[in-house]
Amino acid sequence: MYNRRRWATVIGLAAALLFNDAQAARADPPPDAPGSPFPDMSVVRNFYTELPPEQFFIPEHYGVWFLTPTGINCGIWDRGGFGCVGAIPGAPPGVDNVAWFNGNRAVHYGWTAAMQFRPGQAQIPLPPRSFVTYNSTTCAVTSDDNTYCEHGAFRLLMTSAGTWLKGWDDATSHFCLSYGSC
């Protein structure tokens, strides 16, 4: 009798642990630091589906190209530059580019992002709970349709509430919510 109770307890605890782990795997990644809006990339890499970059190549246009869940055109290019063009959440009227290019000090909006933006039009979306890595840049789509890209300290998060930017990692580094808050 004692062994049956003991095994029932062990099986019950094991089932509870499995259930709790399954629930945690479905949760969105927590922010990477207190006050940070950005997801924890270790959670993304461990619990999201990694897709091959070749799946997002388009003829005659260098790089990886994908659509966000809201239809914004995004790309990752040479030396890890990345950006998106379309209706950028929180950007002022007429501003439809946000990008970081190798050598820039920050992810940024506006005409300078537009003039450096590579040509190309994505053909397929990056699905929710998936990511792609190309030239040391990773872009992911969360389960709540947010789009996140990072290349080291350079980060971009587009949500329905606005677009978060992080440019560099020194004393003047800060998070920016939407255009003009930096």
pLDDT at 158 (0 to 100)? 95
Same domain, 117 and 147: yes
Same domain, 83 and 168: yes
* CA nearest neighbour of 15 among 27, 7, 26, 25: 7
Same domain, 24 and 70: no
Same domain, 25 and 107: no
Asked if residue 151 is part of any domain, the answer here is: yes
Asked if residue 115 is part of any domain, the answer here is: yes
Same domain, 166 and 122: yes
Asked if residue 11 is part of any domain, the answer here is: yes
pLDDT at 70 (0 to 100)? 95
Asked if residue 98 is part of any domain, the answer here is: yes
Same domain, 98 and 165: yes
Amino acid, res. 106:
A
Asked if residue 172 is part of any domain, the answer here is: yes
pLDDT at 176 (0 to 100)? 55
Find all residues with CB under 8 Å of 99, minimum gap 6, and list them. 81, 82, 83, 84, 107, 108, 113, 116, 117
Same domain, 43 and 127: yes
Q: What is the tally of structural domains in the chain?
A: 2
Same domain, 1 and 69: no
Predicted confidence pLDDT, tens digits, the chain (182 residues): 545 554 444 344 444 444 444 444 455 545 555 578 899 999 999 999 999 999 999 999 999 999 999 999 999 998 999 999 999 998 888 889 999 998 888 888 878 888 888 889 999 999 999 999 999 999 999 999 999 999 998 999 999 989 988 866 544 444 554 444 44
pLDDT at 173 (0 to 100)? 45
CA distance 62 to 77: 7
Write out the residue range of the structural domain in which residue 96 sits: 32-177
Asked if residue 171 is part of any domain, the answer here is: yes
Same domain, 53 and 106: yes
pLDDT at 49 (0 to 100)? 98
Same domain, 7 and 53: no
Asked if residue 105 is part of any domain, the answer here is: yes
CA distance 98 to 116: 10
DSSP bridge partners of 166: 155, 175
Same domain, 161 and 77: yes
Same domain, 150 and 165: yes
Asked if residue 182 is part of any domain, the answer here is: no
CA distance 133 to 52: 8
DSSP alpha helix (H) spans, the chain: 2-26, 41-47, 111-116
